Structure 1
Amino acid sequence: MSAALDVPATARVRLVEPAAATDPELAALFRRIEEQFGGVPNLFKALAHRPAILRATLDKVAATMHEGTVDRQLKEMMAVVVADARGCAYCVGAHAMALRRLGVPEETIALLAGDLAQSALPPAWIEVLEVSRAAARDVHGITYARFARLRARGFEDAALVELASVMDLFMSLSFFLDLLKVPLDE
C-alpha cells in the first residue's frame, strides 16, 4: 500500500486502556467494543476521552459497516482504498486485516492500492472502488456521469447513500487517526 508507514509508536493523546475506565458509561462502551471487535482497537482508546463521541462513532461504524445491503467485503475494500488514497496507514492495516478475516486473498488486497482492472473483482465493485479512490482524492471531481455508471451497475439511491457513508466514515476516521498519530494495533 502507498500509505505512509512511519507512524510513531506514541499517539498525540494518551490511549485509554479498558482497565482504567472508571466511568460506568465508558466501561460499558469498552465492553460493547470488546464484544463487537474481540478487543479494543487503539482508535476507540483514543476516542475514549470523550465517551459521547466514542458512542456516536461506534453507532456510525455499526450502521455503516454492519447494516445495509452493500456487501461487507466491498465496504472493507472501500475502507482500504479510501485510507490508501488519504495516506492513513492505520486504516489500511486495520481493514486489510478485516479483509483477511473475511477470506479475501492477499493478491486481491494488494491490488486495492493499484490497478483495480487487473483484479478478478466484479465490474460493479471495481466501479465503486474507483469512485471511492477518486472521491478520497477530490470529492468535487466526482461527476454525474460517474454516478450514472454506478446506477447502471445496479446501485439505487439507498445503496448510493450507503456507499457515500462508507467513504465519509473512512475519510473522517483517517483524518482523526492521522492527526492524533494513533498507532496501529499489534
Structure 2
Amino acid sequence: MANIFVRRLFLASSHLTSPRWGCLLLAKRTEGTARVRPFSSEPPETISRYPVPYKKDLPYDIVELMEEVESKGGFLPNVFKVLSHRPAEFRAFFSYYNELMNKETGRLTKADRELIVVATSVHNKCLYCVVSHGALHRIYSKNPTLSDQVAINYENAELGPRERAMLDFALAVCRADTITEQHFKSLEDAGFDREDAWDIAAIAAFFAMSNRLAHLTDMRPNMEFYNMGRVPRDKSNHKAGKDGDK
C-alpha cells in the first residue's frame, strides 16, 4: 500500500520512509511468534505504566513492522511499544490512523493534519501527541516555530485565515461543542467543503481517544522528537561529504 503510515508519523532526521506500512497493518496475524531480540531486558526508561511486551512474545507482523520503522526512521517511537500491549487494538488503531492521516483526497495537507493534532492534543493535555506531532508539523511545513506557537495558544499563533478556521472547527469538535451551520459556513468561507469538515472532525475525534490512551498509559515521548525539524539540514555539506567519498 503506497499510502503508508511511516511517511507521516515517525521520521528520523534523515526523513526516510517505510514502503510497506499499510499492508503490514492489515495483514492477518501470523501463526507463532517472532524469534528476535526483546526491546530490552532492562528498559532504560519508563515509557508506560503498562508492561511493554518483549518482541519474542509479539505476533510476527507487528515485530516486522516495528523493525522496519526503526530501521527506516532511526528509532522506534514509544507509541508502538506501548500499544503493542494489546496487539489486536494496535492493528485497529494504526489502521484507522492510516486512513485519516495518509489519504490523498480533500484539501487538507499533511501539515494541516499535524497542526490539527497539535492544537487538539494541547486542549487534551497530551504531552506525547503535542511533542511528536509538533515534530511532524515542523518537517512537513518547514516552519520550525508555528507548532510551538499553537502549543501555547493557537489563537495568538501566526496563522492565516484558512488555518485559523480549520483549528477553530477542530477545537469545537474537540470540546464537544454543538456544531451548527455557522461552523460549516466558516469553513466554506475559508475554502473547505463538507468532506473536509468530516476529515477535520475525524482527526480531532480520533486523537481525543489517542490522547486519553496516552494519559492512561503515561506514554512518554522519545527524546528524538524534540529536535526534529528545528534546524534545516545543510544540504551543501551533505553533498560535499558525498563528493568527498568518491
The share of aligned pairs that are identical, in percent, is 21
**Structure 1 residues 172 and 122, CA, compared in 2 at 3 Å: closer, same or farther?**
same
Give, as a single letter, the amino acid of the residue that structure 2 aligns with 1:81: A
**Structure 1 residues 115 and 182, CA, compared in 2 at 3 Å: closer, same or farther?**
closer
Shift of 1:110: 2.2
Which segments of 5 or more consecutive residues in structure 1 lack a partner in the other structure? 1-7
Among candidates 106, 121, 140, match of residue 102 of structure 1: 140
- Structure 1 match to 2:66: 30
Tell me if 1:180 matches 2:212: no
**Structure 1 residues 37 and 123, CA, compared in 2 at 3 Å: closer, same or farther?**
farther
- Structure 1 match to 2:155: 116
Among candidates 182, 191, 197, match of residue 154 of structure 1: 191
Q: Based on CA coordinates, which of the two structures has the bigger radius of gyration?
A: 2
Shift of 1:88: 0.4
Task: Using the TM superposition, name which of 159-168 and 85-94 deviates more.
Answer: 159-168
Shift of 1:118: 4.5
Among candidates 48, 55, 60, match of residue 84 of structure 2: 48
- Structure 2 match to 1:3: none
Answer yes or no: is the 8 Å Cα contact 1:21–1:27 preserved in 2. Answer: no
**Structure 1 residues 165 and 74, CA, compared in 2 at 3 Å: closer, same or farther?**
same
Answer yes or no: is the 8 Å Cα contact 1:25–1:51 preserved in 2. Answer: no
- Structure 2 match to 1:4: none
Alpha-carbon separation, structure 2, partners of 1:26 and 1:179:
22
Among candidates 196, 200, 207, match of residue 170 of structure 1: 207
Structure with larger RCO (C-alpha < 8 A, sep 6+): 1
Does the residue aligned with 2:219 lie in a helix, a strand or coil? coil
Answer yes or no: is the 8 Å Cα contact 2:59–2:87 preserved in 1. Answer: no
Alpha-carbon separation, structure 2, partners of 1:39 and 1:21:
20
Over the aligned positions, Cα root-mean-square deviation in angstroms equals 2.4
Alpha-carbon separation, structure 2, partners of 1:150 and 1:165:
15
1:69-88 superposed Cα distances (whole Å, 9 cap, x missing partner): 31010110111000000000
**Structure 1 residues 167 and 15, CA, compared in 2 at 3 Å: closer, same or farther?**
same
**Structure 1 residues 40 and 181, CA, compared in 2 at 3 Å: closer, same or farther?**
same
Does the residue aligned with 2:153 lie in a helix, a strand or coil? coil
Structure 1 or 2: more helix by fraction: 1
- Structure 2 match to 1:74: 112
Among candidates 50, 74, 78, match of residue 13 of structure 1: 50
Answer yes or no: is the 8 Å Cα contact 1:15–1:42 preserved in 2. Answer: no
